[in-house]
Amino acid sequence: MHHRSLTILCAGVLAAVALSASPVLLAAQAPPAKPAAATPAPAKPAVSQAAAKPYTPPRTKDGHPDLSGLYDVATMTPLERPAEAGGRLVLTKEEAAAIEQYEYQRQVKNDAPLAGDRPAPPVGGENTAAKSYLEVLEKFGGGVVGGYNNFWLAGGMSVITVEGQKRSSILIDPPDGKLPPMKADARQRNARLRAGAVAPDAGEAAAAAGPPGAFDGPEVRPLAERCLLGFGSTSGPPALPNYFYNNLKQIVQTPTQIMILNEMVHDARVVRMDDKHLPSTIRRWNGDSIGRWEGDTLVVDTTNFTNKTQFNGSSDQLHVVERFRRADAKTIIYRFTIEDPATWERSWTGEYPWVATKENLYEYACHEGNYSLENMLKGARLKEAEDAAKKPQ
C-alpha cells in the first residue's frame, strides 16, 4: 500500500526515534535470549546448499551486473540495535518469528473495522505500552491524540535478512550497533543552529515548539514539510527506510549514469559513472554522487553536501560511500558507510536488503508551496494575533 495523498508525516519522528538510541521492546514475547559475551563475536554467514554455488547476476551490454528494477525497502528492523538484543547482531529464528508474528497480529487488529458506538479514548490519549519498533514509531508520530490510522500506513512486515541471518539492526559497525558519539563541537554547532532555526529534518510535531520565528516564512520550515526532500533520509545518501509508507525505490542503469528514484517525495538522484567530483564550491541537496564498479559491486562515493540538509546533525563535510551488490535474482544488498570528521568520533556502517517487487510506483503528489504549507503559515499568523489580543493594553 503506497499512498500519496498524505501531506506530511512528522519527519522528526525519524530524527528523534529511528536515529536515536532509545531502547525498543524487541523480543515481543520471544523466549529470553542468553546473555551476550562482553565483546560479541563477528557474525558467521549462514551455510546453505545455495551458498555452495555462487550467484551469477544478469549483465548489461557493457558487462556489468544489471541492478535495474523496482525494489521494496520496507522493514521492521531499526537502524540502531535495541538493548534487548544484548549486543547481538544476529537474532535466533525463534526471536525473529516472534517479532514478525506480533507485528502481523497487530496489523490484523488495526485493520479490523471500528465499532461506531465505541467509547471515547482515555483522557490524554492512549498510553498502552508499545511492544514493537513500528508500534513505537506510530505512537510517537501520532502523539497522544493519534495519527493516521492503519489504512494509510505500510510498514515492514519482516525482520531484515542478510546472508541468511535475521538481523537485530541495520547498523553493523560499530560492533554494538549504536551510532558513535557526536563530537562536542558538533553538539555545540547544532545547538547554535537550532537556537535560530528549525532543524532541516524536523517535521510539524518537532518544529511546533521551535525557536522564535519558526513560522515566519516558508524558507525556514523543514525540508520534508516543504516537499523538497524525503523524510528521514529516504532520498539518501544514505538511503534509509522510513518505516511508514512509500517504500519503493527504482534503479535505472546506463553505462554513464545510474538513477535512483524514490517513491517518497519523488526524489531522483543521478550517479555519474567514472567521473570526477564537482569543485568543493558547488554544493547539492543530495551531494555529488560518483559511481564506479569494483568487480560486481557498484560503489557510489558522495561528497559536496550542503549544510542545509544536515543528515542527523551532520556538517557539509559529510562523506557517504554506498555499495550495491546483487545477492540473488530478487535481492540487492545495500551497504553504506558514513564519515564526517566534524560531527562523529568515528565512521559507521549499515546494510540491509532491497527486495525486488512487482508493485507500481506512483507519483507522490507533494510539491513546494502546497496548500498545507500555506495553511500552516496562516495558522501561525492567527495564533500571533490571538496571543497579542490577550496581552494587557
Here the cell at position 286 is 543530495
Helical H segments across 154-278, by residue range:
184-196, 204-207
Residue 291 and residue 274 in contact, taking contact as beta carbons nearer than 8 Å: yes
Here the cell at position 283 is 554544493
pLDDT of residue 32: 40
Which residue type occupies 301?
D
pLDDT in single tens digits along all 393 residues of the chain: 444 333 333 333 334 444 433 334 444 444 444 433 334 444 455 544 445 578 999 999 999 999 999 999 999 999 999 999 999 999 999 999 999 999 999 889 888 888 889 888 777 666 777 788 888 877 766 655 566 777 788 888 999 999 999 999 999 999 999 999 999 999 999 888 887 777 777 655 555 567 777 888 888 888 888 888 887 788 889 999 988 888 999 999 999 999 999 998 888 999 999 999 999 999 999 999 999 999 999 999 999 999 888 788 999 999 999 999 999 999 999 999 999 999 999 999 999 999 999 999 988 887 777 778 888 889 989 999 999 999 887
- What is the distance, to the nearest Å, from the Cα of residue 202 to the centroid of all Cα atoms in its chain? 13
Residue 154 and residue 98 in contact, taking contact as beta carbons nearer than 8 Å: no
SS3 helix, strand, coil % of the chain, rounded to 5? 25, 20, 55
Q: What is the torsion angle, in degrees rounded to the nearest 10, for the CA atoms of residue 115, residue 120, residue 125 and residue 126? A: -40
pLDDT of residue 96: 96
Burial letters for 6-31: b for 16+ Cβ neighbours within 10 Å, e otherwise? bebbbbbbbbbbbbeeeebbbbbebe
Task: Tell me the helices (H) and strands (E) count for the chain, helix number first.
Answer: 6, 13
pLDDT of residue 362: 87
pLDDT of residue 280: 95
DSSP 3-state of 288: strand
Report cis status (omega within 30 of 0) of the bond before 122.
Answer: no
pTM for this model (two decimals): 0.84
- Domain residue spans in the chain? 12-29+58-111+128-356
Pairing state between β 288-294 and 268-273: parallel
DSSP 3-state of 243: coil
Radius of gyration of the chain (CA): 22
Pairing state between β 348-356 and 69-72: antiparallel
pLDDT of residue 216: 85
Residue 333 and residue 162 in contact, taking contact as beta carbons nearer than 8 Å: yes
Q: pLDDT by residue (tens digit) across 275-319? A: 999 999 999 999 999 999 999 999 999 999 998 887 889 999 999
Residue 169 and residue 177 in contact, taking contact as beta carbons nearer than 8 Å: yes
pLDDT of residue 251: 98
Classify 354 in phi/psi space as left (phi over 0), alpha (psi -120 to 50) or beta.
beta
Which residue type occupies 113?
P
Residue 160 and residue 353 in contact, taking contact as beta carbons nearer than 8 Å: yes
